[in-house]
Each structure stands twice: as structure tokens, then as C-alpha cells.
């Protein structure tokens, strides 16, 4: 009898847990009126169809087809086939109750050679996607550059290392304003410039795979001590040029706004000593401050100026005036938190002499052998939800409380052949992740932070850059073995409840 009562009790507890999973403790009604909820994606990770309708190759096409660059030896030639299945995916967003969709335009679909002749088939595709979204009441948030530089420009003049990129990017961006700006009111010029500057040109782990680590042992070409800074500088000048064009020619008519999506790890001092508190600030200077300081104040952080010296490019007076104030909103891609400590030995600097070494910090998700928190699947993604509030308050205090969109937030599960689809759909950890991060985001809003929206990474499992298909971030499971069929995970039901609390 006792054992039966115990079994009944256990079943009851399991039912309560299941109810908690499917019933949100907070919901959209807790957030301010007009707060935007959406999902996010990028062209290269989603579209596939890499050789269809006149699209030209990008640096990621070449990189992903280079042996040893992708963890599972995959490529994004098909990805999740959204190029052909966008109407189905738009309906999935509509069914959940999402307000917006953040996606990127593939530069080489519009200009297969990066410049020159416009590819009308590419324009037609994005017109159809934008119209499909609007027909379902979903607002498009469009990223112009999500890492997929046309390979032709890399071949022609080394892409972001050459100032010629400013004119070509401006032409591409203005073409998008002309073709889509009557319906697109939120533009993101760049996604995570810090990531592609460091991963692509400092450590060589992403396209175009340039670095000089250990005398080019890992990369055939590059200079880790200078190239990340040159790339970042050209990105800032490109954004400023595009913002100037938009404000002078299109903003008054189209009534839109421009921002950048920045990748931001939050850094906690490893110990409460002044040297580690200073190290955490320097780590942030060499991440968010590297880009946001020029956009807000007209120059790089003083810690970068003093530590990088002549390797850090300088803005002319005219360039500084163009860059400063060129953001209408700040996009934040925030996933995780690391500890930061002062690098007193500078062994890293001796080996690398790059932007990581220049910061004089060591940043890791461990304090000794103890992890900062529970980990998701990715080796860098530890779940520390309270840092969402810390980061929002930091931006409010340092940068004058700008308008912020959380342009990415999410976590991944492994793509294991030993996990059935049925079990893969049980993503309780993802539900806790979003519930907790949203709760701390809400707390920051109640403390006066000017946050306007939140985008989940991601609607679908997708091709995750150097991790390939080994990582699953989606609210929907994608069966790569069965024509990319979509299956809703439990988190879909959670978001339905969160976004539609009265239903």
C-alpha cells in the first residue's frame, strides 16, 4: 500500500513538473506594451540553395568545403532549406504568436560578384519572404551582413581588410533600402562584428580563416596582431557610411531605423580583487567597447588605445563625427557568462600577440576546476541567467540607456544519433533557460533599462557554423535524415503559452 501511495505521489509530482513546462510563470503581459517577441536566423545557416537562382559563392561556402574546418565535416549547401520552405516556417512563427522575424539577406544573392549587376532573382526571393511575413502580421527585422561575404570580393581585394569594401557594402545596403525599405522598418547592418573580426582574422576558426598563430601553423595567411583591428575599423566606417546614406535619403520617407547586433559575453571578476575587477572591464572593452564606444563616443576605449598602440587604427575627425551617433538602436546577442582574471604572466601574449593577449585578461567559464554554472551543449555556453540583468544595467549606465533589442538568446542540445526524435523534443532545459533569462530581462526593464524586444535563437535547428549540424538551438527539431522535416519541441508549446496567455 505504501509503495502504491509512493507511486501515485511520484506520478503527481511528474504531472506538476509537466504542467510547469507547458505553463509559463511569466508571460508577455508582464512586458511593456509594444515589446517585440521574435525568432532569429541567418541566410547561410538557413537557406541552402547555394547554387540556385544566380546566387554567387560566399567566403563561408569556400570555408565550409575546406577539409577539417567544420567539426562534423558537413556544409550548408542545403542547411534547413528555408529558401524553398519559407512559407511553412512563417506559418510556424504565426502559430506560436511571434511578432517578428529577424533574418539576413545573402549579399551574393543580390550581387553575385559583390558589386556590379543586380541579380533580380535574389531580389524577388526576399520580396516574397518579406511579403509572406507581413501577410501573417510578422514584422521583418533584416540583417544586411551575417558573415557571408561574397567570395568575389575576398578574391578581388581581401574583403574587409581593404577600404574598398566601404563603397561596395554601401552600394549593396542602399540597393536593399531601395528594394525592400518600403516594408522593412528595422535594419541591422552587421551581426557580431567582434566575432567575425576575431574568429576570422585573429584565430582563424571562421571564414576566411586568417591568422598568424605560431608562425602560420594553423592558417596559410594573416596577421593576428593587426588584421582584427583593421577589419573592425572598416566595419565601423562601413556602418557609418550606410547610416549616413539612410538618414539623408531614406529615413524621412521609409521611417525606419538602423542598428548593429553585438555579441556580448558578460564577464564576472574571478575574485573580488581590484586587478580582476579591472580585468573584467578590459575584457568588456575589447569585446563590446571595441565597437560600441566609437559609435557612442567617437573613439575606441582608452584601454585599447594604450594597450594596442599604433596597431589600432585612428579615426579622422570627419570619420569620428560620422561614426558617433550612427546607431538608432543597440542589438545584443547574449548567451553566457565567463570569469575574467588579470593575465599577470602574459604567456598568451608571447605565443599569440593578438587581440586576446592585448586585453591582458584570461576569460574562462571556470574558476579553478569549478564551472560557473550548468552547461548547454556548446563548450562555451554556460547558463547564467542573472547576467542578462547585469548586462542591461551596464549598458544603461555606461552608454546613456539606448534602445536595446535582444537580437539573439538561446541554448543548444547535442545532435546525437543515440537520441530518438521523441526524446529530442523534450527540451525542459531550454524552457528553463528562456524563462529564467526573460525573467531577469524583465527585472532590468523594471529598473529602467530601455529594452524593446527579444529574439530567440533560433526558430529551427540549423547549421551552426564551425560546429556544423552537431548543435541544436531550435525550438523546432529538424530531421536532417528526412528532408529537413520540422517537429515542435516542448519549448514551442511553452512559447505559445507565454505569448498567448489568455488562450
Catalytic residues: 192, 408
Radius of gyration of the chain (CA): 22
CA distance to 192, 262, 298, 361, 477, per residue, from 340 (Å): 21, 19, 27, 6, 35
Q: Which three cell numbers stand for residue 151?
A: 567570395
Q: Which helix (H) or strand (E) holds 38?
A: strand 36-40
H helices within 149-259, ranges in order? 151-157, 164-180, 193-201, 227-249, 251-254
**Residue 194 to residues 199, 261, 298, 431: CA-CA distances in angstroms?**
8, 10, 17, 29
Please give the C-alpha separations between residue 373 and each of 91, 105, 438, 469, in angstroms, as whole numbers: 36, 36, 18, 25
Contact 181, 250 (CB under 8 A): yes
The DSSP code for 274 is H
Helices marked H in 202-316: 227-249, 251-254, 274-284, 290-297, 302-308
Helices 227-249 and 290-297: crossing angle in degrees, nearest 10, is: 40
Question: What does the block give as the cell for 403?
Answer: 534602445
Instruction: Give the whole-angstrom CA distance, residue 408 versus residue 324.
Output: 24
Which DSSP category does 32 fall into? P
Tell me the C-alpha distance between 40 and 104, whole Å.
9
Cα–Cα distances in Å, from 195 out to 261, 461, 502? Answer: 11, 21, 40
Which cell is 255 given?
Answer: 521611417
Residue 114, judged by CB atoms within 10 A of its CB (0-12, 13-18, 19+), counts as buried
Amino acid at each position: 500500500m505504501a509503495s502504491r501511495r509512493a507511486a501515485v505521489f511520484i506520478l503527481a509530482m511528474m504531472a506538476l513538473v509537466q504542467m510547469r513546462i507547458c505553463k509559463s510563470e511569466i508571460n508577455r503581459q508582464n512586458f511593456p506594451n509594444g515589446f517585440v517577441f521574435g525568432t532569429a536566423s541567418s541566410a547561410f545557416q538557413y537557406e541552402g540553395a547555394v547554387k540556385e537562382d544566380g546566387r554567387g559563392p560566399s567566403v563561408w561556402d569556400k570555408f565550409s568545403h575546406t577539409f577539417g574546418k567544420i567539426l562534423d565535416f558537413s556544409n550548408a549547401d542545403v542547411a534547413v532549406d528555408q529558401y524553398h520552405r519559407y512559407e511553412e516556417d512563417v506559418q510556424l512563427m504565426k502559430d506560436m504568436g511571434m511578432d517578428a522575424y529577424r533574418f539576413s539577406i545573402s549579399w551574393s544573392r543580390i550581387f553575385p560578384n559583390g558589386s556590379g549587376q543586380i541579380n533580380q532573382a535574389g531580389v524577388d526571393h526576399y520580396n516574397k519572404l518579406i511579403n509572406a511575413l507581413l501577410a501573417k502580421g510578422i514584422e521583418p527585422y533584416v540583417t544586411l551582413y551575417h558573415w557571408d561575404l561574397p567570395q568575389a570580393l575576398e578574391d578581388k581585394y581581401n574583403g574587409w581588410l581593404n577600404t574598398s569594401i566601404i563603397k561596395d557594402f554601401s552600394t549593396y545596403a542602399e540597393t536593399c533600402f531601395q528594394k525592400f525599405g518600403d516594408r522593412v522598418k528595422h535594419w541591422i547592418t552587421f551581426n557580431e562584428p567582434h566575432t567575425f573580426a576575431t574568429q576570422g582574422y585573429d584565430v582563424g576558426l571562421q571564414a576566411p580563416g586568417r591568422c598568424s598563430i605560431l608562425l602560420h601553423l594553423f592558417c596559410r595567411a594573416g596577421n593576428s596582431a593587426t588584421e582584427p583591428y583593421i577589419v573592425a575599423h572598416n566595419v565601423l566606417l562601413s556602418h557609418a557610411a550606410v547610416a549616413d546614406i539612410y538618414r539623408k535619403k531614406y529615413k524621412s520617407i521609409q521611417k525606419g531605423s538602423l542598428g548593429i547586433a553585438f555579441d556580448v559575453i558578460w564577464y564576472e571578476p574571478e575574485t573580488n580583487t581590484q586587478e580582476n575587477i579591472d580585468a573584467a572591464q578590459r575584457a568588456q572593452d575589447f569585446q563590446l567597447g571595441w565597437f560600441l564606444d566609437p559609435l557612442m563616443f567617437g573613439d575606441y576605449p582608452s584601454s585599447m588605445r594604450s594597450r594596442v598602440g599604433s596597431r589600432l587604427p585612428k579615426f579622422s575627425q570627419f570619420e569620428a563625427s560620422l561614426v558617433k551617433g550612427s546607431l538608432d538602436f543597440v542589438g545584443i546577442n547574449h548567451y553566457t557568462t565567463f570569469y575574467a582574471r588579470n593575465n599577470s604572466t602574459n604567456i598568451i601574449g608571447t605565443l599569440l600577440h593578438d587581440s586576446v593577449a592585448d586585453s591582458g585578461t584570461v576569460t574562462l567559464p571556470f574558476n579553478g576546476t569549478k564551472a560557473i554554472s550548468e552547461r548547454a551543449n556548446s563548450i562555451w555556453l554556460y547558463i547564467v541567467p542573472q547576467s542578462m540583468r547585469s548586462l542591461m544595467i551596464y549598458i544603461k549606465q555606461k552608454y546613456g540607456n539606448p534602445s536595446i533589442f535582444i537580437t539573439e538568446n538561446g541554448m543548444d542540445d547535442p545532435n546525437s544519433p543515440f537520441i530518438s526524435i521523441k526524446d529530442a523534443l523534450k527540451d525542459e532545459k531550454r524552457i528553463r533557460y528562456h524563462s529564467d533569462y526573460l525573467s531577469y530581462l524583465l527585472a532590468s526593464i523594471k529598473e529602467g533599462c530601455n529594452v524593446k524586444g527579444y529574439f530567440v535563437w533560433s526558430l529551427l535547428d540549423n547549421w551552426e557554423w564551425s560546429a556544423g549540424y552537431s548543435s541544436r538551438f531550435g525550438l523546432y527539431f529538424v530531421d536532417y535524415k528526412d528532408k529537413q522535416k520540422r517537429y515542435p519541441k516542448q519549448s514551442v508549446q511553452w512559447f505559445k503559452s507565454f505569448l498567448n496567455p489568455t488562450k
